[in-house]
Amino acid sequence: MLELIVTIAILSFGIVAVYGAFSPLVKLNNSNSMRFRAMYLGQEGFEVVRNIRDNNVIGAQSWSFLIDACSQGCQADYKTGTSAETSDNQLKPYDDNNFLKINSDGLYSYDAGENTIFKRKITVAQPMGSDVLKINVQIFWDYSGESFNYETVGYLYNWQ
């Protein structure tokens, strides 16, 4: 009987040790998944600004129309500046309380779907003259009581 109790105790310690080793791996896996999602949302933010620029050129407006108003930060999604735009996804000042939503198709926007943990801030500056805009896209989220962010920077040119 004593041998059985000792064996169960040893197995219990082994199982607890294995669980303790895998628990951080599961948390790290979730964290990496969110970092990848943030990276893609950052790239999408840059593509949204590029799309607005292209629509401005096609519409015979100034190439930086509306974009240069984002010096303090703006929010936009894939519908911004398109025929599918609503009042919720127009280019507007960044609101720290406004989270991106994900719809049933897996697309992120501000107008429809379920709230996510992600916020996106797009900031624009003219560092090198009137034909270049510096685009800074930041993604913010909280997970397991920690705050995270991802930032991507790129340049947008007047190709007219």
Quick one: pLDDT band at residue 135, thresholds 50, 70, 90? very high
Q: Number of folded domains in the chain?
A: 1
Predicted local distance difference test score (pLDDT) of residue 122:
96
Predicted local distance difference test score (pLDDT) of residue 17:
79
Range of the domain at 118: 2-157
Predicted local distance difference test score (pLDDT) of residue 59:
86
Measured between alpha carbons, how far apart are the two ends of the chain, in Å? 86
Predicted local distance difference test score (pLDDT) of residue 31:
77
pLDDT digits (tens, 9 = 90+) for 17-68: 777 777 666 666 677 888 999 999 999 999 999 999 998 888 888 888 888 8
Report the alpha-carbon distance of residue 101 to residue 72 in Å, rounded. 22
pLDDT digits (tens, 9 = 90+) for 55-91: 888 888 888 888 888 889 999 999 888 888 888 888 8
What value does the mean pLDDT of the chain take?
A: 87
Q: Are 109 and 81 in contact (CB under 8 A)?
A: no
Nearest CA among 75, 78, 68 for reference residue 97? 75
**Block residue for tokens 């996106």:** 120
SS (H, E, C) 26-75: HHHHHHHHHHHHHHHHHHHHHHHHHHHHHHHHHCCCCCCCCHHHCCCCEE
Predicted local distance difference test score (pLDDT) of residue 27:
66
Q: Are 85 and 112 in contact (CB under 8 A)?
A: no
